[in-house]
Amino acid sequence: MGIRFPRAEKRLAAHSRWLAALLWLLPLALSAQSATGVGMVSIRIPDPVSGGQTDGYVFYPSSQPVHGATAIGPYEVAAVPDAPALPGTRPLVVISHGNGGSRLGHHDLATYLASHGFIVATLNHPKDDFQDTSGVGHAEVLAGRPLQVKSTITTLLADPHWKNLIDPERIGVAGFSAGGYTSLMLLGARPKFERFIDFCDQHPEVKDVCGTRAKLEAEMAKQGRTIRDYLADVQNDMGHWGDTADPRVKAAFVMAPLSLVFDEAGLAPIHAPMFLYYGQNDHVLPPADNAKHIRPLLKNLMAVKEVPKADHWVFIAPCSTALAKEAPTICTDPAGVDRAKVHAQINADALAFFRKTLKLPGH
């Protein structure tokens, strides 16, 4: 038998239901109200390793609304080229792509953060991007990656336009795969590259990490050297172009990081807050030796999330039809994984994390 209400109580009950619905919808409404249009411009960034330059983009809040997407190669980017920037000083987030990646590989995260009040920069890492991977495994990339992010920050802070829009005290990084390694290096981590040998002894099947080992060992043998000698040289060259740490970076959002090269001592210098994401079934960088390995070693880890059933590539932006045809491996997920839904959660988590750690006013 149902409960009977007097008339006044009926009105109160109806009001309570309306209020409850309003309170449930309020965060979504506030989020919608806080979103803006997004502009984007291309930039050139000096490379401290080669002495040349690399390409990047800056995404930023704009009063100009985004109608549809801007096609850039196989990417469909939710930003308006050269749109006017909203005034005001804002936090900066720099996004670092993985091995063989692109300055647009995480465009959805970049535009999402920009639409909610951040300046976001991306870049191509020389000799480790979609056009050229000839430097992978060499010091010029292993040291160069964090130095190129540092150069991106320095370039923007020195630019007459961007220096008035970026708060130099509120800078963060986000990185995927080798970009996760890059993020850790920027926070002060110190790698130990001989750990690659132990990993590949145990996991020769992980071709993305260990597939070139036999070739490298053969090349070293011709010189009367071993792979340990080679890795020792890489280790010694890490400081050749400058310090890979950047004290200007105050927080890091790290996705499926290449982190098997770090031990407890190597991660001890990190004190900045971090958010760690990884895929449950990552076959490129197995979590047990990477994300899960570093999880208990990080002092200021604010949150950890595992994407159920996901493989490594789930962290790349959902692919356009053109990109899916061009690069099916990075665009295909295991059964039961909806990349669009995964990214909706990743983007929301990144926004909440950077709002808190970089102290976005009004949030």
Cα three-residue angle 99-126-273, rounded to 5 degrees: 60
> Quick one: CATH architecture of 34-191+238-357?
3-Layer(aba) Sandwich (3.40)
Q: How many helices (H) and strands (E) does the chain have?
A: 14, 11
**C-alpha dist (Å) from residue 200 to 197, 211, 232, 238, 295:** 5, 9, 16, 22, 21
The pLDDT value recorded for residue 362 is 57
Amino acid identity of 93? V
Tell me how far the alpha carbon of residue 240 is from its chain's centroid: 25
**Looking at residues 283-298, what average pLDDT do you find?**
97
Q: Where are the beta strands (DSSP E) in 222-321?
A: 249-255, 274-279, 301-307
Question: Full-prediction pTM beyond 0.85?
Answer: yes
Q: Which residue has the higher pLDDT, 360 or 34?
A: 360
Percent above pLDDT 90 for the chain = 85
Contacts of 200 (CB under 8 A, 6+ apart): 206, 209, 210, 213
Q: What's the chain's Rg over C-alpha atoms?
A: 22
The pLDDT value recorded for residue 32 is 41
For the segment 75-118, what is each residue's pLDDT rounded down to a tens digit? 999 999 999 999 999 999 999 999 999 999 999 999 999 999 99
For the segment 188-226, what is each residue's pLDDT rounded down to a tens digit? 999 999 999 999 999 999 988 998 888 888 989 999 999
Domain residue ranges of the chain, discontinuous segments joined by +:
34-191+238-357
Instruction: Find tokens 């071709």 and name the residue.
Output: 207
Q: 3-class SS at 314?
A: helix
The pLDDT value recorded for residue 360 is 79
For the segment 2-15, what is each residue's pLDDT rounded down to a tens digit? 333 333 333 333 44
What confidence category does residue 281 fall into, taking pLDDT thresholds of 50, 70 and 90?
A: very high
Interhelix angle for 339-357 vs 107-115, to 10°?
50
**Looking at residues 335-347, what average pLDDT do you find?**
98
**Looking at residues 34-38, what average pLDDT do you find?**
85
The pLDDT value recorded for residue 212 is 86
For the segment 125-157, what is each residue's pLDDT rounded down to a tens digit? 999 999 999 999 999 999 999 999 999 999 999
Q: Is the C-alpha dihedral spanning 351, 354, 359, 360 positive or negative?
A: negative
On the question of pLDDT at 184 being above 50, the answer is yes
Cα(177)–Cα(128) distance, rounded to whole angstroms? Answer: 12
